[in-house]
Amino acid sequence: MSSSGPSSQPAFAMPSAVSFRNVSRAFGSVRAVDRLSLDIDEGEFFAMLGPSGSGKTTCLRLIAGFEQPDDGHIEIFGETAEGVPPYKRSVNTVFQDYALFPHMSVGENVAYGLMIRGVSRAEREAKARAALEMVKLGGYELRRPAQLSGGQRQRVALARALVNEPKVLLLDEPLGALDLKLREQMQEELKALQKELGITFVFVTHDQGEALSMANRVAIFNEGKIMQVGSPVEIYERPRSRFVADFVGSSNVLPPKFAAAHGGTAYWTSLRPERIGVFAPGTLVPAVQAHADGIVTSINYQGSATRFCVTTDEALLTAETPATAARYRQGDGVRLIWPKSAMVAMEAET
Amino acid sequence: MSQTATQDRPGGVLEGLSDLFLARPKLLTLLLLLPPLLWIGIIYVGSLFALLLQSFYSLDDFSGLVVHEFTLSTYAQLLEEANVQIILRTMTMAAIVTIACAIIAFPIAYYAARYARGWTKALFYLAVMMPLWSSYLVKVYAWKLILAKEGILTWMAQGLHLQWVIDGLLAMPIIGGPTLSFSYIGTFLVFVYVWIPYMILPVQAALERVPVNYIEASADLGADSRQTFWTIIFPLALPGLIAGSIFTFSLTLGDYIIPQIVGNSRLMIGQAVYTLQGTAGNIPLAAAFTVVPMVIMGVYLWMAKRMGAFDVL
């Protein structure tokens, strides 16, 4: 609703889908969201990743309108969201446990939002049917939610939200209750659906694999603050803090002194286990690589890979190698070798 | 006495029994269920059946003795004008009491289920249950005093210059009377007071089972509070309302003390049964009268089921 036409506006004038400015929300003495600022662009598949209690779900609920900020400003597509009740927002939610209405059929559940808006019976039934077909549940209209499996309920919840053509779709741990195989399948489907519809998806998860594989952009939450926002590659390859390095994947966090002595700089440094190769003692090290000698203290076989814990003079390092390369035993002396470029200097220790 | 290895061991009999139960779990279930089944079967259903049987006998007007022959004449007697009046009067009272209980109980139950936490919840249970702990007769007599002409209600109305409200109510046809304690209004008030916990508790239990995220989901899908109430909360609370109404309705149908102490002299079903089986010795007609509430409740439940009130359970 800007007063001037698009031509007179520079490119950045297009409002974000969701924008937080210094938003805080406290529950008693707990600051669930702490002076948080964030922009989510239109059409993004945005993930909020963090441990439980990190404020990511509260953020989602602030967008949905179930919570109101104590302080700060929230905009949804350029319109102020504070004080606007959930039923007046063009945002829909897929709830963690789906929250399907048990006294209604699947079709009635999906058509609920349309019924509330006064859409005629014929039209809402047609739209509900189309939405159910989109999530591959065509023909399930007359079933009751209790008759469906977890994965099917999840799809119904998705159809029920999408049938209202929201500008932003919020997903709260959408795949948390599904088993592994189904989860992987739904990840693919959600990704495809988001591409097809072009709607902004915001989803909350504590599963880093899920966040990295599905989202265009990921925000890492901790204690009510965002530690880092970026593409999955940026988050994984260039963690800016020890928390991010540890929480997303696992990492060797090297103290500044050790890093500087082994091909890095005098900062806290992240080094991913899979970038470290395990070799026989005395193996030649090219100039672009760094090394440390140590003794294997434990071996952890994980199927596709094997993890070695190696004690060196100054640090305990974890290396992850393909299972076929794992020919060392506990107590063996080894030389760990890694590219210097794999060492990522971080801004903060925490 | 077979000499099996099991019985040779110490504790052989018990161990043998436990082996038997392990092998045949249904036997154990049957054994555990038998006493309560017998209790329900003989003392409960059996006596009900005996009652039903009585209603098909008749009273010999001349000798005053029960004639043990199958007849429908007692039911014909039940359908006489005066008796039908009693039935209709009782049903109307029960229905109005039930509706009033539902209207008063719902907000209380909703508050308790949705908002009360910690000590407020404890206070709620105490407030609802405490009247149930004191004697029913004491409460009814207390109400008689409250509603009497010289009672606290009239006294308060006079103090507030609202005596005309009570006078106006008492002047109304049918529900009025000489004083509140001798009118249907009084009977109604006492019934509502005495039965309301039986409505609040099941409704509260039903509302307690409605997760907050159904309400959030409804709001998320565009429904304002009023729409959410009628499309989500009310349908899900309906089984609780029905359960509560079964209590309030059937308790009112069968009660004979409240209308005797507070109310006019027109009989309700319970009083009719009391009089018939006592002084009149007309057990068959008394039995026929008690069948009426059972039939009414049966029809009511069937209708509720047809309307889908129990689909969510």
Which residues on B lie below 8 Å from A164 (Cβ)? 221-222
For an interface test with B, give the residue of A58, A60, A87 to mutate (most B CBs within 10 A).
A87
Question: In sequence order, what DSSP letters do the residues of A207-250 get, joined into one string?
Answer: -HHHHHHH-SEEEEEETTEEEEEE-HHHHHHS--BHHHHHHSS-
Nearest CA to B271 out of B260, B262, B280 is that of B260
Phi-psi region of B174 (alpha: psi -120 to 50; beta: other; left: phi over 0): left
Domain ranges of chain A: 18-240, 250-345
Of A99, A102, A113, the CB nearest to B222: A113
In tens, the pLDDT along A226-273 reads: 999 999 999 999 999 989 998 888 889 888 889 888 888 888 899 999
Give the best-scoring range by mean pLDDT among A21-35, B54-68, B158-172, B299-313: A21-35
Alpha-carbon gap, residue A249 to A56, rounded angstroms: 19
pLDDT of residue B71: 87
Task: Give the one of A92, A99, A102 whose C-beta lies nearest to B213's C-beta.
Answer: A99
Query: Average of pLDDT values for B230-254?
Result: 91
The rounded distance, in Å, linking the Cα atoms of B40 and B47 is 10
State the best of A67, A76, A112, A160 to mutate against chain B, taking most chain B CBs within 10 Å. Answer: A112
Asked, colleague to colleague, whether A18-240 and A250-345 share their fold, the answer is no
Query: Which residues of B are less than 8 Å from A113 in CB distance?
Result: 221-222
- pLDDT, tens digit, for every residue of B39-78? 999 988 998 898 889 889 888 877 778 888 888 888 998 9
Residues of A in contact with B236 (CB under 8 A): 102-103
What are the chain A neighbours of B217 within 8 Å (beta carbons)? Answer: 93, 95, 99, 101
Choose the closest CB to B213 out of A65, A87, A97: A97
With a cut of 70, list the residues of chain A below it in pLDDT: 1-14, 324-326, 348-350
Per-residue pLDDT, A201: 96
Q: Tell me how close the Cα of A2 comes to any Cα of chain B, in angstroms.
A: 26
CB contact under 8 A, A160 and B311: no
Which chain B positions have a beta carbon within 8 Å of A168's beta carbon?
Answer: none
Q: Is domain A18-240 given the CATH code 3.30.420.40 in the classification?
A: no
User: By the CB < 8 Å criterion, does B312 face chain A?
Assistant: yes
CA distance, residue B304 to nearest chain A CA (Å): 15
Chain B hits for A87, CB-CB cut-off 8 Å, are: 219-224
- Decide if B269 contacts B292 (C-beta within 8 A): yes
SS3 B26: helix
| pTM given for the model | 0.80
Name the strand (E) or helix (H) holding B198.
Answer: helix B184-208
Measured CB to CB, residues of chain A less than 8 Å from chain B are 64-66, 85-87, 91-93, 95, 97, 99, 101-103, 112-113, 116-117, 160-161, 164
Q: Does B214 touch chain A (CB under 8 A)?
A: yes
Tell me the nearest-neighbour CA distance from B118 into chain A, angstroms: 16
Q: For the segment B92-147, what is each residue's pLDDT rounded down to a tens digit?
A: 999 999 999 999 999 999 999 999 989 999 999 999 988 888 888 999 999 999 99
Given the cut 0.85, state whether the ipTM is greater than it.
no
Q: Distance from CA of residue A146 to its chain's centroid?
A: 29
pLDDT given for residue B311 in this prediction:
66
Query: Among B208, B274, B218, which Cα is nearest to B240's?
Result: B208
Q: Do B224 and A87 touch (CB under 8 A)?
A: yes
- Of the pLDDT bands very low, low, confident and very high (cuts 50, 70, 90), residue B10 is low
In this structure, CATH architecture of domain A250-345: Beta Barrel (2.40)
Only one residue has tokens 């959600």, namely A190
Indicate left, alpha or beta for B281 from its phi (over 0: left) and psi (-120 to 50: alpha): left
Q: What is the mean pLDDT of chain B?
A: 88
Tell whether B227 lies on the interface with A, counting CB pairs under 8 A: yes
How far is A242 from A247, CA to CA, in rounded Å? Answer: 8
Contacts of A64 in chain B (CB under 8 A): 216, 220
